[in-house]
Amino acid sequence: MLLSQQAYTRIDKELAKYPADQRQSAIMSALRIAQVEKGWVSAEVIADVARYIGVEPIAVQEVATFYNMFNNKPVGKFKISVCTNLPCALRDGEKTADYLKQKLGIELGETTSDGLFTLQEGECMGACGDSPVLIVNNHHMCVRMSTEKIDAMLAELAQQGDAA
């Protein structure tokens, strides 16, 4: 078992939401729980989740590789996803991505050398009117991100990373 007992207990709560013959419906939730605990979903974690849920590993692998919210390789402590889809691109989404690349000294898909930040493009985040939009660690949405707001966010995150 690769996850903590608390993680398996949380997965059990997700499994309880579905009929016994529909256990695969809990795959996304189980992967989310595993990723929060491990930081990413390795092949070993995918196999463990499949075993625990009682589905074939390929079923879990398909979900883990289809959705960009799942990290299939190690990422920084803070994963910043910036929306560059057309509506956001028209409202400075691409400029925001360029600013973050320059500020962090990395390209999209890369992690800073200190392991603190990973930068990636994200798919539509459903907040086009609030562009530019970022999501930090798949959970915290940041909207209308000016360069000043980005600088403040990065400084706050770096401080949190140093405190850990």
Instruction: Confirm whether residue 142 is marked as ligand binding.
Output: no
Please give the Cα distance from 30 to 43 (Å, whole number): 14
Residue 157: which H helix or E strand, with range? helix 147-163
**Look-up: residue for tokens 């973050």?**
100
120 beta partners: 81
The number of angstroms, rounded, from the C-alpha of 59 to the middle of its chain's C-alpha atoms is: 20
Please give the Cα distance from 74 to 61 (Å, whole number): 16
Instruction: Confirm whether residue 83 is marked as ligand binding.
Output: yes
Omega before 132 cis (within 30°)? yes
Note whether 20 and 31 are within 8 A (CB).
no
Residue positions forming the annotated binding site for [2Fe-2S] cluster? 83, 88, 124, 128
Residue positions forming the annotated binding site? 83, 88, 124, 128
